Amino acid sequence: MTPPGPEASGGASDLLQTSAQMRRRQRRGLVARLALLGALMVAVAALVTLIVTILNSSFGLVAVENERSPGELVASRGYPEGTALGDLTKEDLVALLEAGISTNLGRRFEREQRFFGDRMVFEDLYVLNDLCMAGDPPPPACYLPARSHSQVEALVVERVVEPTIVGTWSFFSSVFNRDDVEAYAAEKYPGAELEFRSWLSWDFVVNPQSPEPAIAGIRTALLGSLWVVLITLAFSFPIGVGAAIYLEEYARENRLTAILQTNINNLAGVPSIIYGMLGLAIFVRTLEAITSGSFLGTGGEATANGRTIVSAGLTLGLLILPIIIINAQEAIRAVPGSLRQAGMALGSTRWQTVRSHVLPNALPGILTGTILAVARALGETAPLVVVGASTFITTDPSGPFSKFTVLPIQIYQWTSRPQDEFRNIAAAAILVLLVLLLTLNTAAVILRNKYSRRTA
């Protein structure tokens, strides 16, 4: 920059020059501002793309090849053309099943659950009664009610119609390129029918896991997730809040407290997979006698060894403990000191002050932090793979000592399969998981807003 000249004319040209420079600087500012805005849009675009990608795979056309066509089956029972399989009576459906599957398979199904309460179809009643008396354990048919209409229908679809999905298309190509898809399908899968399928459906939520993507569901995984989160919460909430109370209300400012605090902060940054390895070494291996449930004498679950819901829950409990502590500390710190002094002035002890003044005021904040931590636990995958989630189970978890799988693990396994159909159900499962997390987060936000409005 040149210093302003002494002459008047020089001053004017300087002024011109400065204003040109000024414009340049402002232009540069504008360009930079747009660049910053662009970078920010990258984050927004990433989120939008992610969600669109998942929705795109969750719905779309599928080409289905049936072993036996439902129309033919319906006609074989004397119903008019166009009747849906679901409109048949239960008797007709069972008859279709009788005609379509082997007697041996039928017996097996009937031992699992009877078709009618008052008569037997495949199995001999005496044989079943004997099994119920002597069998160890007795087959489920002994205590379960008869199969419902929809259960029989599902069985007919699974075993007689035997639909296989031979091709799937994404939502966008299904909607915008439907003609191409139809032409391609007609050429490549001549026997197949093209139908629009929503991979996310109520059946998908309540069906158990299955190797066949068309009928697989996430029931097992959802129940597993609930069990695991329950144990995680039961373990880490009391301990986390207790630790926070100690650090904020009891601890003196000394070296020990500093070490505790630093340690908690450091634990919050440890990669989750390390917690998985800790869980594997401690809960699964060292404490196997406890986490497998064998100390209770439940030998039935011996196959699970230490790889149980308890181990998974405790591992995630350790993982979210620092998060709960740090959040709870913040909530407790936000309680005004005057409240404590008022309590103390009335002669209450430290714990009485905490219980009746500090905790009630900090509770919304603590709960908000806990909900967020639970959301984190619900989405964790890596530590549970390491702890040993089951790769394939179809039975609902029966208690804390059973084998488990959780929703994110299910998503991981389906994503890792090369076939397209598994990508579709993985996307549908992701939608369920995201809805769950969104619900939790909304709850947290509502709680937080309500709380901040009250104190403001």
Partner 1 sequence: MTSEAPPPAGSLRKRRRPGEAVIGGLLFIAAALSILTTVGIVFELGKEALLFFRSEEASLAEFLSSTQWQPAILDFGIWPLVLATLTTSVTAMVVALPVGLATAIYLSEYATPRVRGTIKPVLEILAGIPTVVYGYFALTFMTPLLRSILGVSVVEIFNTASAGIVVGILIIPLVSSMSEDALHAVPMSLREASYAVGATRLETSLRVVLPGALSGITAAFVVSISRAIGETMVVAIAAGAGPKNFTFGEDSLLGYILNPFVAGETMTGHIVRISGGDLSYNSIDYNSIFAIGLALFVITLTLNVLSRRFVARFREVYE
**149 touches partner 1 (CB under 8 A):** no
Work out whether strand 163-168 and strand 193-198 pair parallel, antiparallel, or are unpaired: unpaired
Which one of 47, 127, 206, 334 is in contact with partner 1 (CB under 8 A)? 47
**277 touches partner 1 (CB under 8 A):** yes
Q: How many residues bind partner 1 (CB under 8 A)?
A: 84
Whole-number Å distance between alpha carbons of 57 and 50: 11
Residues 6+ apart with CB under 8 A from 286: none
Q: Residues 307-346: x/- map of binding to partner 1 (CB under 8 A)?
A: -----------x--xx--x---------------------
**437 touches partner 1 (CB under 8 A):** yes
Please identify, using beta-carbon distances, which residue of 73 and 280 lies nearer to partner 1. 280
Region of 103-111, 155-163, 192-200, 427-435 interacting with partner 1 (CB under 8 A): 427-435
How many degrees, rounded to 5, is the angle at CA 158 between CA 411 and CA 186? 85
Between the CA of residue 221 and those of 118, 345, 407, 421, 454, what are the distances in Å?
A: 35, 53, 5, 18, 39
Whole-number Å distance between alpha carbons of 301 and 279: 19
Cβ burial of 397 (10 Å; 0-12, 13-18, 19+) is buried
Which residues face 198 on adjacent strands? 59
For residue 44, the minimal CB distance to partner 1 (Å) is 5
**226 touches partner 1 (CB under 8 A):** no
In this structure, what DSSP letter does residue 393 have? -
Site for partner 1 in 367-386 (CB under 8 A): 375, 378-382, 385-386
Sheet strands side by side (includes 59-66):
163-168, 59-66, 193-198
Whole-number Å distance between alpha carbons of 310 and 314: 6
For tokens 């296989």, the residue is: 164
Please identify, using beta-carbon distances, which residue of 30 and 84 lies nearer to partner 1. 30
Site for partner 1 in 66-125 (CB under 8 A): none
Please identify, using beta-carbon distances, which residue of 86 and 242 lies nearer to partner 1. 242
Contact 273, 377 (CB under 8 A): no
Region of 95-103, 216-224, 291-299, 422-430 interacting with partner 1 (CB under 8 A): 422-430
Q: Residues 383-412: x/- map of binding to partner 1 (CB under 8 A)?
A: --xx-x--x----------------x--xx
For residue 67, the minimal CB distance to partner 1 (Å) is 30
For residue 16, the minimal CB distance to partner 1 (Å) is 17
Which one of 21, 265, 341, 356 is in contact with partner 1 (CB under 8 A)? 265
Whole-number Å distance between alpha carbons of 200 and 196: 12
Which one of 12, 16, 35, 75 is in contact with partner 1 (CB under 8 A)? 35
Please identify, using beta-carbon distances, which residue of 343 and 408 lies nearer to partner 1. 408
Please identify, using beta-carbon distances, which residue of 194 and 431 lies nearer to partner 1. 431
Tally of CA atoms within 13 A in the half-sphere of 428 that contains its CB: 29
Please identify, using beta-carbon distances, which residue of 74 and 426 lies nearer to partner 1. 426
Please identify, using beta-carbon distances, which residue of 86 and 238 lies nearer to partner 1. 238
Please identify, using beta-carbon distances, which residue of 113 and 225 lies nearer to partner 1. 225
Bond from prior residue into 80 cis (ω within 30 degrees of 0): no
Q: Determine the 3-state secondary structure of 60 from DSSP.
A: strand
